[in-house]
Amino acid sequence: MKNYLYLILTAFMAILIILALPRKKVFHLSGEELLDKINRKTHIISIHKYKEMKTQEPGLQLVDLRDNGTFTAGHLPGAMNLPSERLGPDIIHRFFKESTSTGVLYAEETYRAEKYWILFTQMGMDNLFVLDTGPMLDSLIRHWDAENSRMILVDETPEFNFQPDSAISF
């Protein structure tokens, strides 16, 4: 009986010790930290900022998250294709965790790439940005190096001082 009681107490103590051990952190950032990063929008870069970064850091890797067919039909120069529908933990870790260069994600819409930025950031990948392509990605692909590419997406916030010539009262 004494041995049986000793065995139960030992098992109980082992369970308590296991429960008291610090747990492995599942997410890289807390919810508050991630929300703060998202709200600051420092991870979203303009086309012009990307081109500037590319001249300073030649190893900068542009990552197209669109499907293979869309990528083959046209993509930004120097981009590599990692279709979002095929991304699994093994591919994510192989490409992003082992990469020492900075990655810039883009997709059909900026918010789609930002979803993956959130996922990758929570997995501990800090060297990522999202390219702000807006809804004009196709036009951007066609006119990447053209003289008029400056008109596609600009960094400036438009300021208008609208003064109507006349007003109609009802």
Phi then psi for 109, rounded to 5 degrees? -130, 150
> Distance between CA 81 and CA 68 in Å, rounded?
7
Higher pLDDT, 59 or 158: 59
93-108 average pLDDT score? 80
* CA max distance for the chain: 100
Phi then psi for 90, rounded to 5 degrees? -65, -45
DSSP three-state, residue 129 = strand
Give the position of tokens 């107490």.
9
Higher pLDDT, 91 or 37: 37
Flag whether pLDDT at 27 surpasses 80.
Answer: no
- In the chain the domains, ranked by start, together with CATH numbers, are 31-144 (3.40.250.10)
Q: pLDDT tens digit string along 47-88?
A: 888 888 989 988 889 999 999 999 998 888 889 998 988 877
12-21 average pLDDT score? 69
Flag whether pLDDT at 152 surpasses 50.
Answer: no
In which band, very low, low, confident or very high, does the pLDDT at 38 lie, cut at 50, 70 and 90? confident
- pTM of the prediction? 0.69
Report in angstroms the alpha-carbon separations of 77 from 34, 59, 72, 81: 30, 14, 12, 11
